[in-house]
Amino acid sequence: MYTTALLPLLGPLGAIAATLPASAQGNAEAAGSVVQGDFTITSKELYPEKCAYDTKRKLLYCSELYESRVAVIDPVTKTVKDKLDFPGLSRDKDYHLSGLVMHKTQDRLLISINTGNAFDTAGKEINGTNWLVIYDLAAGKQLDPVDLTTVTKGAYGGIQDFDTDSCGNIYAVATYPGAVLKISPKLEVTPWHLSGNTDATMTGFTGIASKGNMLLTANAQEGGQLVRFNTREGGGKEGRPFNVPLTEAGSSTASLLGDDLDGVTLPAKYDGKVVLVTSGNTGTAVLRSKDDKWTSAENLGKIANPFQNEKGYSVATVEIGDRIYGVFEWFEDVRNVEGSLSGNRTEFPFKDITDDIEKLLQGDKTASQDGESTKQDGESAKQDSDSTKQDGESAKQDGESAKQDGALAVSPPVR
């Protein structure tokens, strides 16, 4: 039922980058900064779940979660320049586009179009086919989608994020109940690591990031773990997980990530020594390894989610030039707009958290206290993620009475 025809040629994406003002291109490249500071993208149906930055074309790709499309964004002008549509998959209510990443060894965009019901039901219903969609950026066309469900006979669902190793293999994480699939350069899929859990509601792996032949993923089991894989270990035939011991910064006290986990990022600017792990309600944890081997790590603290009181969820981070941005999703928006699968929100914030990360790396804990460093403009008066919500207003928001201590009563789908 799904077409395998190539996408209509949308035009070389490099042509979009060429439309940037010459001064803007030159200054950004010379300074290493494409953008700096918070910004907002105004675009209906955006609802970004994951974003990836194309250093070659200076473009930002963001998933349109509910429409299963990719928005092509010029981060300098803060405008959507194009949208990538995938025939047979886009604008299908059964599908969500929750993951995308730049292939590290090829000029391609890797895209996860998956059965959204797995997340909406927290693993209770994982039926349906999950797809790896590969978009050739140089040619401006889609390759045939790759079925990621048949290889496990449908036992694992919620396939949402990818990354690659130095040999060009692709690794996909399944959240329910937890698996890592390997896709070879010939697009052959193998069940590289299966958790063995039979209860699909047991949330497993969420995000994944790589450097060379090392994979790091977040696992919501056992209180929230950072898990390392070596893609060459055992001849690369099967994944052998290693739970990275985490301690609180400057102490021997064990640390856990919690169970509300989402995206994982290894920012290039830190040369593999810093990992960012997002948690939907609370924000972004900053983890540091003394080297890039990740035999152990320190949990330096968390950059608070500035939109927690507004039902915004921290879902990912993205590195744009030499700055790092928080990406936020609005899962609880009512999706009843005629002719659309999304809500009616049109403004989507991107929060520059670079300075907050630097403070934690330098031992300044203020970046993770009360959300002070992550409050935005006039919203700061009502952002206090570590204390009871002010004036009791949270108890009556939207008629909900179960919210406690600043935490949202409804948890987001784990993505």
CA distance 188 to 181: 10
* Interacting residues of 278 by C-beta distance below 8 A, sequence separation 6+: 207, 261, 262, 263, 264, 284, 285, 314, 315, 316, 317, 326
Kindly state the average pLDDT of the residues 338-359: 98
Instruction: Tell how many helices (H) and how many strands (E) occur in the chain.
Output: 4, 26
Kindly state the average pLDDT of the residues 17-32: 40
What is the structure's pLDDT at 13? Answer: 56
Using a pLDDT cut of 70, give the percent of the chain over it: 80
Q: Is 258 left (phi over 0), alpha (psi -120 to 50) or beta?
A: left
* pTM for the predicted model, two decimal places: 0.84
Q: Is 327 exposed, middle or buried (0-12, 13-18, 19+ CB in 10 A)?
A: buried
Residue 399 has pLDDT above 50, yes or no: no
pLDDT digits over 321-331, tens only?
999 999 999 99
CA distance 49 to 60: 13
Closest to 267 measured CA to CA, from 246, 243, 286, 294: 286
What is the structure's pLDDT at 376? Answer: 44
* Interacting residues of 100 by C-beta distance below 8 A, sequence separation 6+: 50, 51, 52, 61, 62, 63, 70, 109, 110, 111, 112, 162
- Ranking 155-164, 275-284, 294-303, 364-373 by mean pLDDT, the lowest is 364-373
Kindly state the average pLDDT of the residues 281-301: 97
CA distance 396 to 62: 34
What is the structure's pLDDT at 8? Answer: 38
- Ranking 7-16, 56-65, 153-162 by mean pLDDT, the lowest is 7-16
What is the structure's pLDDT at 372? Answer: 44
pLDDT digits over 132-191, tens only?
999 999 999 999 999 999 999 999 999 999 999 999 999 999 999 999 999 999 999 999
What is the structure's pLDDT at 413? Answer: 62
Q: For strand 297-304 and strand 246-248, is the pairing parallel, antiparallel, or unpaired?
A: parallel
* Mean pLDDT computed over every residue of the chain: 86
Residue 251 has pLDDT above 80, yes or no: yes
φ, ψ (nearest 5 deg) of residue 355:
-65, -35
Confidence of residue 33 (pLDDT cuts 50, 70, 90): confident
Closest to 348 measured CA to CA, from 320, 329, 321: 329
Show the tokens assigned to 300.
Answer: 């330096």
Residue 339 has pLDDT above 90, yes or no: yes
Kindly state the average pLDDT of the residues 344-354: 98
Using a pLDDT cut of 90, give the percent of the chain over it: 78
What are the chain's domains?
A: 13-21+40-399 (2.120.10.30)
| Chain centroid, CA 386 distance in Å | 24
Residue 382 has pLDDT above 80, yes or no: no
CA distance 281 to 275: 18
Confidence of residue 412 (pLDDT cuts 50, 70, 90): low
